[in-house]
């Protein structure tokens, strides 16, 4: 158990809908990262927040957005969902940034029908 929690574990929705994925980092970790894992693209970095502020962006679609709240939990919002958004979404946390270790949660499996 990494100490990072993600909810829900599974999510099934329809095209065009909007969903919110939630992540609680390990106690004391200030950084939260979001990754997407699909069969054709592998594991891809989406976005990084540090202490409530966005610090780095990957190939995150404009339909996706994220935020980190004062209690350090984070939410990833996915809107106007398409079939291709079906994937595993992982959240990771770390104490700071730099080259420190990232601890990953169990993931949320999103299925768009």
Partner 1 sequence: DAKTTQPNSMESNEEEPVHLPCNHSTISGTDYIHWYRQLPSQGPEYVIHGLTSNVNNRMASLAIAEDRKSSTLILHRATLRDAAVYYCILRFLILTGGGNKLTFGTGTQLKVEL
* Site for partner 1, rule CB under 8 A: 2, 4, 31, 33, 35, 42-45, 48, 50-51, 55-58, 90, 92, 96-99, 101-107
Nearer to partner 1, 17 or 54 (CB): 54
Q: Which residues contact 40 (CB under 8 A, 6 or more apart)?
A: none
Nearer to partner 1, 20 or 52 (CB): 52
| Number of helical (H) and strand (E) elements in the chain, helices listed first | 0, 11
Question: CA-CA distance, 67 to 80, in Å (whole number)?
Answer: 18
Question: CA-CA distance, 110 to 14, in Å (whole number)?
Answer: 10
Shortest Å, Cβ 1 to partner 1? 11
Shortest Å, Cβ 96 to partner 1? 5
Shortest Å, Cβ 19 to partner 1? 19
Shortest Å, Cβ 50 to partner 1? 6
Nearer to partner 1, 45 or 75 (CB): 45
Side-chain-side CA neighbours of 71 within 13 Å: the count stands at 5
Both tokens of 26, joined, read 């390990």
Nearer to partner 1, 25 or 105 (CB): 105
Asked whether 23 and 31 are in contact (CB, 8 A), the reply is: no
């Amino acid at each position: 158990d990494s100490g990072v929690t993600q909810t829900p574990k599974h999510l099934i929705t329809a095209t065009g809908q909007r969903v919110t994925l939630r992540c609680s980092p390990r106690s004391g970790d200030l950084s939260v990262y979001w990754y997407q894992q699909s069969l054709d693209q592998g594991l891809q970095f989406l976005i990084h927040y540090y202490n409530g502020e966005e610090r780095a962006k990957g190939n995150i679609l404009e339909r996706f957005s994220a935020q980190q709240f004062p209690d350090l939990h984070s939410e990833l919002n996915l809107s106007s969902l398409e079939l291709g958004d079906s994937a595993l979404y992982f959240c990771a946390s770390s104490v700071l940034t730099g080259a420190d270790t990232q601890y990953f949660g169990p993931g949320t499996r999103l299925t768009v029908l």
